[in-house]
Amino acid sequence: LAKTTQPISMDSYEGQEVNITCSHNNIATNDYITWYQQFPSQGPRFIIQGYKTKVTNEVASLFIPADRKSSTLSLPRVSLSDTAVYYCLVVMNRDDKIIFGKGTRLHILP
């Protein structure tokens, strides 16, 4: 099981780019890296998934270095509604258990 470590909390301002880094030193060859956003009293919402290099979608980018021991979620031009907890997960195909780390509590200020 790949354990993940993220900063406990981060603050930023509206309009800024926010980068949240997750370390997963013992990631295995078949593992994917997935990021989720969670608001209070809601289930986690999928943001982005990647295996290596860079992935971009309409809401975020995911940067994964060659050794894959870390990943960085990049949120461009955040708004107040991006205040949430962000989790990175390392998921293997047909994993027998998927464990959450503590996540990063992102607080966007006006």
Partner 1 sequence: GAVVSQHPSRVICKSGTSVKIECRSLDFQATTMFWYRQFPKQSLMLMATSNEGSKATYEQGVEKDKFLINHASLTLSTLTVTSAHPEDSSFYICSALGQPGSPLHFGNGTRLTVT
Residues within the interface to partner 1 (CB under 8 A): 32, 34, 36, 41-46, 49, 87, 89, 91, 93-103
Q: What is the CA radius of gyration of the chain?
A: 13
In angstroms, give the least distance from the CB of 72 to partner 1.
18
Residue 109 bridge partners (DSSP): 13
* Residue 49 or 72 with smaller CB distance to partner 1: 49
The pair of structure tokens assigned to 52 is 């290596």
Please report how close the Cβ of residue 66 comes to partner 1 at its closest, in angstroms: 20
Q: Could you tell me which residues are beta bridge partners of residue 25?
A: none
